[in-house]
Amino acid sequence: MNETIKNIAQRYSCRDFADTRLTEKQISIMVEAALAAPSARNIQPWHIIVVQDKALIEQLDAEGLALLGAEEDKTMYDAIISRGGKLFYDAPCLFLIVSDGSKWATLDSGILCQNVVLAAESLGLGSCIVGLARVPLEGPRGEEFKKLLKFPDGYKFEVGVLAGKIISGKAPHPFEENKVTYVG
């Protein structure tokens, strides 16, 4: 099996990160992989914010958890509490992919996100895609957080990726062949 296919097959959503800061080289490789992502008409509607400020990640985490805990439907909150009570699992690095909101920006950001997680896997790092980063960014303190994170004017959150050294691994999810239909 070639290395690309191997990385795709073994990658899983890590929720157990070591408190080890990533190196400049590791960040650089993941950023380069992100920027290599294709986009519709090569518009590249994204901007990547790399956050290694542990205190800021913890503020976002606490705010997001508080907002989820205040919701009437506690399903998501309860799920997070059952997995250790952290939105960002103490990851040392958070990639926020934000966009200009143009027509294909969400799809293009998703492609970029996949490049980041596969680059992390190739470096022996864990990763987890985190849509719940949206919660604190769209909550009452959202504008404050966007300033701290240096969001470009007019850009909106698309997706987040956690990255870091893995404490304990787990198996990737099983494939569900029934999710595929072959025609022709």
H or E element: which one contains 56?
helix 54-69
pLDDT for res 175: 84
pLDDT in tens, the chain (184 residues): 799 999 888 999 999 999 999 999 999 999 999 999 999 999 999 999 999 999 999 999 999 999 999 999 999 999 999 989 999 999 999 999 999 999 999 999 999 999 999 999 999 999 999 999 999 999 999 999 999 999 999 999 999 999 999 998 777 778 888 989 999 9
Please check whether residue 2 lies inside any domain of the structure: no
Q: What is the CATH number of the domain that holds 80?
A: 3.40.109.10
**What six digits make up the tokens of 148?**
């701290």
As for how many domains the chain has, the answer is 1
Task: List helix spans (H) across 70-173.
Answer: 75-82, 105-122, 134-138, 142-148
> Does some domain include residue 8?
no
Domain containing residue 127: 23-167
